[in-house]
Amino acid sequence: MKDHYDYIIVGAGAAGCILANRLTASGRHSVLLLEAGHEGRSIWISIPAGFGKLITDPRYNWLFQTEPEAMTRQRKIAVPRGKGLGGSTLINGMIYVRGQPADYDRWASLGADGWGWADVAPQFRKLECYPKGDGSRGHDGPMHVHEVTERYVLSEALLAAAQEAGHALNPDYNGPVQDGFGYYQVLQHRGRRWSVIDGYLKPARARPNLHVLANAQVLKVDLEGGRCVGVTYRRGPQTHRVRAGTEVIMAAGAIQTPQILELSGIGRPDVLQNAGIAVQHAMPGLGENYIDHYCARMDWRVKGALSVNQQRYGWRLALAVAEYFIRHTGILTLGTGLAGGFVKSRPDLPSADVQYFFMNASYANQVARELERPPGMTLAISQMRPESRGSIHIRSANPDEQPAICPNYLASEADQDSLIGGMQVARQIISQPAMARYVDHEKNPGPDVQAREQWLDYVRQVGQTIYHPIGTCRMGTDAAAVVDPRLRMRGLPGLRVADASVMPAMISGNIQGAVMMVAEKASEMILEDAREAG
């Protein structure tokens, strides 16, 4: 291994793997990709339903937790983050959502020049390999996107009930209009999880100008003369330094990117000083603007229909395993959402503000993903564009100490109203004739919950993140922005950020598609800058 590369990429998750592929494609640039986790080898990675095994496994999940906060009843809430080559694309629910065009036009209005919908739509098409859809979709990109193939009595009943309640069916929520109900699109191929390892890293690993190093925890970025010149990383008991001739690119995600930068002396002076770290580059906005999707789940006891609950035990499970390994179909192809919808929590809104995730299953323990034995179904409700803002900051100079994650969920009354309205609409849908015939009773929150304060109390007690943290290295042009619209660290040459942390505002739905788009666009910008520099 060399001690000098043109580019050093920190983090081999969704963004890092894409950057590694695109920056090495021409053969002109040498790239080092560093990942703190290992090379994933579990059989559960390729099996879509295996996320339930991996999401609580410390070998594949950093197991972050939020700080206790009053608005969520002083609970510590799990914040899963993927660990290993592929990052969270190894353990997530695989759901693929672009978001609404207005989301990206809002980014541009917030100072992210060049990131409006017209600017980013080509990047989505570039990464997609979607066999359906119109000209707005990509058909030959590296990431396979497929509609969920399984069909069940309860999922079909949900779509029928949604229509009875006045909601449209939408054959492609990633097309021109997001609003409506349908089956989810997932990153799978032939019944297997399709991660960025499959789409981007495997095709690039044979290139002589790419060096991939797992089990390499970056401790800090190295600064000299007001410039970023490389990184210091730990591998086993040894600490190493490696230099970047052109740039260090942070792609460690919305939690670990600001953590590493703060450990390097970059960030809010008060945070750094309290941690015993000398200020190298004051950046007041770093670690602020933490945004995440908060989700509450409603569930019902089912009658007259089979749910996944029964299929995950005994002889039915044996049949399901056999079906998967013979045909790559059945319940083991399911992730976190079978069918879903994008709806307005109140009719006067211009577009959907709430997202539904339907599964013909119910949980005895939602965090551990333990299913009940009696038949059940779940409808998870998430507000798509929360106004609440939190932060993530280091506690000390110890790189092994988890940072303090303070999401500030439900601080905004608008966020509360959106979630409550979405749950009320969900109850209305489930009460329609097409679905009511299969409902024995509403388990949670239960029919007695009617008043706003009752709904809010339930949301505070049971809500969880759905693993979409963004915003902690926000791009923009104002004084509080961390990176400029070309994702360069403001005032610190040689350092760029290209992951979920640069997003200035939340998109409408699951973020992994948007993270991939950011990495694709960042790659183009980096290569443009390299060409201009000669």
Q: Of 321, 20, 78, 22, give the one whose Cα is nearest residue 191.
A: 321
Torsion 463-467-469-470 (CA) sign:
negative
Residue 116: CB atoms within 10 Å: 18
4 is a catalytic site residue = no
Alpha-helical (H) ranges within 83-179 are: 101-109, 117-127, 153-164
Q: How does strand 227-235 pair with strand 217-224? A: antiparallel
The CB-side HSE value for 82 (13 A sphere, CA atoms) comes to 31
The span from the CA of 143 to the CA of 297, in Å, is: 30
The span from the CA of 529 to the CA of 526, in Å, is: 5
The span from the CA of 401 to the CA of 297, in Å, is: 31
**Residue 48: partners with Cβ closer than 8 Å, 6 or more residues away:** 94, 186, 188, 191, 192, 193, 332, 333, 334, 335
When computed from its CA atoms, the radius of gyration of the chain, rounded to whole angstroms, is 23
Task: Please tell me whether the peptide bond between 101 and the residue prior to it is cis, using omega within 30 degrees of 0.
Answer: no
The span from the CA of 127 to the CA of 200, in Å, is: 10
DSSP 111: T
Alpha-helical (H) ranges within 250-366 are: 253-263, 269-274, 308-311, 314-327
Burial code of 101-112, b = ≥16 C-beta within 10 A, e = fewer?
bbbbbbbbebbb
- Candidate list 167, 281, 393, 468, residue with the active-site label: 468
Q: Are 525 and 372 in contact (CB under 8 A)?
A: no
As annotated, the active-site residues are 468
